């Protein structure tokens, strides 16, 4: 039973990773791409970790998985922010795709 | 339950529980005395040792000592600006925050997936400035992290001195999406402050911000 649930979680996580990859290719702009690099990507990794936890079931492995989850949650937004900020400051953001820009001129 | 005074933070900590009558326009980060700094460092060391033990997956005396040595070295050689915790944990609000966060992470992923898979669709975006009500470094950092994982919003830049987050919004179809995202960021801040903020900070959530010159 736990193996089936674990397998399902692994597949769901992989599917989200695939969608994140598709979004990364298809989105028109750096900032939109950073959305795919954070949300579906992070949830995909978390689902993979949960699936692995259901398959492995040993305490030392679980500790490692928790650690990976924490680092994933805390580093992905920071990385996306650094890339987005660098892109904005170096003028690589397509302003025509923005309805509102309250960072302009700051 | 939130109106009592927080525990003092060491002999030199400022008494912080008194609700300020009016939020100062540039409320400084609470000053941390030497005792508070020591406590923050001890806390950081504890987390580093815990991470070290989890990495090795084995609690032994040797790992504990090695973790302490590495932790002290990290704190000595890579000093960071002090981020202190002046609030208190409220388990119930923390649970509310966690459950909401997971639900929002799932809906954010599905939203981005739907936008990514829609054929021939070019999403429009927006960059909005959201002034936070509680300007401690801890709250700025946590809110910035979390809003990148909830639907529609992504942190782009931070004005630390003025406590303003610049947020990119994905898939804007009208003005209501922009104002909705603003509300969403402030709701995230509210949940975080309610979970771990000091009573004075929780109180500040209900006051209208003095300066709202960034937007109307």
pLDDT for B212 beyond 60: no
Q: A11 in a domain, yes or no? A: yes
Contact assessment for residue B116 and residue A19, using Cβ atoms and an 8 Å cutoff: yes
- Binary contact (B125, A23; C-beta < 8 A): no
Q: B138 in a domain, yes or no? A: yes
Band of residue B21 on the pLDDT scale cut at 50, 70, 90? very low
Contact assessment for residue A39 and residue B105, using Cβ atoms and an 8 Å cutoff: yes
Alpha-carbon span A55 to B203, nearest angstrom? 46
Alpha-carbon span B101 to A69, nearest angstrom? 14
B174 to chain A: closest CA residue: A99
CB of B101 less than 8 A from some CB of A: no
pLDDT score of B73: 93
Band of residue B211 on the pLDDT scale cut at 50, 70, 90? very low
pLDDT score of B99: 96
- Per-residue model confidence as pLDDT tens digits over A3-45: 899 999 999 999 999 999 999 998 888 888 999 989 999 999 9
pLDDT score of B32: 56
> Within this chain, do residues B50 and B124 fall inside the same structural domain, yes or no?
no
Q: B213 in a domain, yes or no? A: no
pLDDT for B136 beyond 80: yes
- The token duo for A47 is 């689902």
The distance from CA A77 to its chain's CA centroid, rounded to whole angstroms, is 8
Q: A42 in a domain, yes or no? A: yes
Provide DSSP, B52-99.
HHHHHT---HHHHHHHHHHHHHHHHHS--------S---HHHHHHHHH
- Domain end position, chosen among B77, B105, B135: B77
Alpha-carbon span A86 to B188, nearest angstrom? 25
- Per-residue model confidence as pLDDT tens digits over B60-109: 899 999 999 999 999 999 887 777 777 788 999 999 999 999 999 999 99
Q: What is the mean pLDDT of the segment spanning B155-161?
A: 90
Number of C-alpha atoms within 13 angstroms, CB side, residue B104? 21
The beta-carbon neighbor of A19 closest among B117, B127, B178 is B117
Structural domain range at position A85? 2-93
A26 to chain B: closest CA residue: B116
Residues of B in contact with A31 (CB under 8 A): 125, 154, 156, 168, 170
> Within this chain, do residues B114 and B151 fall inside the same structural domain, yes or no?
yes
CB of B172 less than 8 A from some CB of A: yes
pLDDT score of B208: 59
Contact assessment for residue B184 and residue B150, using Cβ atoms and an 8 Å cutoff: yes
- Binary contact (A31, B156; C-beta < 8 A): yes
pLDDT for B13 beyond 60: no
> Within this chain, do residues B116 and B174 fall inside the same structural domain, yes or no?
yes
Q: How many domains does chain B have?
A: 2
Band of residue B25 on the pLDDT scale cut at 50, 70, 90? very low
Percent of chain B with pLDDT over 70: 80
Band of residue B33 on the pLDDT scale cut at 50, 70, 90? low
Q: A78 in a domain, yes or no? A: yes
Structural domain range at position B176? 91-205
Q: B43 in a domain, yes or no? A: yes
pLDDT score of B190: 93
- Per-residue model confidence as pLDDT tens digits over A48-82: 999 999 998 888 888 889 999 999 999 999 999 99
Q: B40 in a domain, yes or no? A: yes
- The token duo for A79 is 């990385």
Provide DSSP, chain B.
---SPPPP-STTS----SPPSS--TTPPPPP--HHHHHHHHHHHHHHHHHHHHHHHT---HHHHHHHHHHHHHHHHHS--------S---HHHHHHHHHHHHHHHHHHHHHHHHHHHSTT----EEEEEEE-S---HHHHHHHHHHHTTSTTEEEEEEETTTTEEEEEESS--SHHHHHHHHHHHHHHHHHHHHHH--HHHHHHHTSPPS--TT--
Q: Which of A39-53, B16-30, B201-215 has the lowest mean pLDDT?
A: B16-30
Number of C-alpha atoms within 13 angstroms, CB side, residue A31? 33
């Amino acid at each position: 039973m736990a193996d089936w649930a674990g397998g399902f979680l692994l597949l769901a996580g992989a599917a989200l990773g695939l969608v994140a990859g598709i979004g990364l290719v298809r989105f028109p702009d750096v900032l939109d791409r950073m959305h795919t690099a954070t949300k579906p990507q992070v949830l995909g990794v978390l689902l993979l970790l949960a699936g692995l936890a259901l398959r492995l079931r040993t305490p030392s492995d679980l500790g490692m998985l928790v650690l990976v989850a924490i680092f994933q949650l805390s580093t992905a937004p920071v990385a996306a922010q650094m890339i987005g900020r660098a892109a904005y400051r170096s003028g690589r953001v397509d302003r025509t795709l923005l309805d509102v820009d309250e960072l302009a001129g700051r | 339950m939130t109106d009592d005074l927080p525990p003092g933070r060491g002999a030199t900590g400022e008494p912080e529980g008194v609700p300020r009558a009016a939020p100062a326009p540039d409320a400084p980060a609470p000053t941390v005395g030497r005792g508070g700094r020591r406590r923050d460092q001890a806390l950081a060391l504890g987390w580093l040792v815990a991470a070290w033990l989890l990495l090795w997956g084995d609690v032994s005396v040797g790992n504990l000592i090695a973790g302490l040595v590495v932790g002290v070295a990290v704190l000595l050689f890579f000093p960071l600006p002090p981020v202190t915790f002046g609030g208190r944990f409220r388990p119930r609000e923390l649970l509310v925050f966690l459950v909401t966060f997971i639900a929002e992470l799932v809906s954010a992923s599905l939203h981005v997936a739907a936008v990514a898979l829609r054929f021939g669709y070019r999403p429009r975006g927006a960059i909005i400035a959201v002034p936070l009500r509680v300007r401690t470094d801890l709250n700025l950092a946590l809110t910035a992290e979390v809003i990148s994982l909830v639907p529609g919003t992504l942190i782009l830049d931070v004005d630390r001195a003025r406590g303003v987050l610049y947020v990119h919004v994905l898939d804007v179809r009208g003005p209501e999406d922009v104002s909705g995202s603003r509300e969403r960021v402030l709701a995230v801040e509210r949940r975080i402050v309610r979970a771990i903020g000091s009573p004075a900070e929780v109180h500040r959530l209900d006051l209208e911000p003095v300066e709202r010159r960034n937007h109307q």
